[in-house]
Amino acid sequence: MKVNRIFRKVIDKIRLLSYKDRESYLLLYSILGYVPNNMALYRMAMTHSSASASGNKKLGCNERLEFLGDAVLSSVISDYLYSNFVKEREGFLSKSRSNLVCRETLNELAIEIGLNRFLEACGLPSQHNSYVYGNALEALIGAIYIDKGYKQCRRFLLDRVFSRHLDLESLVRTDKNYKSRLIEWTQKTHKSIEFRLVGEELRKDGAFFVSEVYIDNQLCGVGDGFSKRESQQKASRQAISKLGL
């Protein structure tokens, strides 16, 4: 069995050398651990909508793959949590899943596994959207699902992504929903809280927002992002740090 695996890896690398863009494909192989059947799917997964609109129309963009990958990711995480935290209630499982699939975590994971380098190797224009890599990771999961099926998605996520780059036990115990944490704290301490949208700008890569959070009418945090939610989360995180919560 071990000899067969070694032989298969050699054959895979020989196949990769036959591709014109060997560098990017070898990089993709190092991320996935296998040679894809349909390379076009994976290149599409790395194509942001702005790139598609500006010159890569034949590829299409990764939004549909991102939608599919999001659902598959949620399924894999739900299965993992249900199987490994058998004594925990539904509330804990739901909050833990939110921590694992939040934009911030996915973006960090995408960079950890080198997906940012693959995006650059594909010759795509750089994006300012802070979550473009996390979105691409979800699209990649969608591509794996179509190309190799659910089992390969699960193997990739659990064996090559989560186990290598995350302390799952620690992460599921950490609440990364900073806005929710801040609201809960103000409710417990009987303080008022208000989020104010103080800036909105339309850029080439999407709308950009700036939010402030006030506690008892005192400015405690400022955040920005490519959605109102992202800007509020960043403002809440700054407030939590400032308040020492």
Distance CA 54, CA 57 (A): 7
Under 8 Å between Cβ of 195 and 180? no
112 catalytic, yes or no? no
Q: Which of 12, 21, 63, 70 is catalytic?
A: 70
Q: Which of 66, 138, 147, 230 is catalytic?
A: 138
- Phi, psi at 198, each rounded to 5°: -110, -5
Residue given tokens 């115990």 in the structure block: 173
- Phi, psi at 173, each rounded to 5°: -90, -5
> Which alpha helices (H) appear in the chain, and where do they start and end?
2-17, 22-32, 39-45, 49-54, 63-84, 90-101, 103-112, 115-121, 132-148, 150-155, 163-165, 168-172, 178-188, 228-243
Distance CA 29, CA 133 (A): 18
Helix 103-112 × helix 132-148 angle, to 10°? 70
For every residue of 97-138, DSSP letters joined together read HHHHHSHHHHHHHHHHTTHHHHHHHTTPPP---TTHHHHHHH
Under 8 Å between Cβ of 3 and 87? no
138 catalytic, yes or no? yes
Query: Which residues are marked as active site?
Result: 70, 138
